[in-house]
Amino acid sequence: MCLGIPARVVDVGMPPLVPGQVDVAGQVRSINLGYLPEAEVGDWVLIQNGFAVHLITADEARETLEAIEDHQLFDVTVLPGSPRQAAQES
């Protein structure tokens, strides 16, 4: 099973490859934004296997992060920062 993880876009590169960086629970990760060329800095996306696959709202990010935490699919306490707090701040 692949799990889409909410992340906030912090940098968008230039086409055609559209590299980008996202913040996942306080960790910045390099991803490919090729499927979402409309993504902008500050947007929330779901990432899977190094690709941003879906734009989501801050509310959807918060709800998804809560569900992940509630079902213990991902332990957000092992990473610096709080993705839930970041979603609430946007």
- pTM > 0.85: no
Domain that holds residue 63: 5-89
Better-scored residue on pLDDT, 23 or 77: 23
Most confident of 34-43, 67-76, 77-86: 34-43
In the block, residue with structure tokens 């559209």: 18
Reported as a pLDDT band with limits 50, 70 and 90, residue 80 is very low
pLDDT exceeds cutoff 80 at 53: yes
Q: Please give the Cα distance from 74 to 70 (Å, whole number).
A: 9
Q: In total, how many domains does the chain have?
A: 1
Q: Please give the Cα distance from 35 to 47 (Å, whole number).
A: 11
Look up the CATH number of the domain holding residue 10: 2.30.30.140
pLDDT at 75: 62
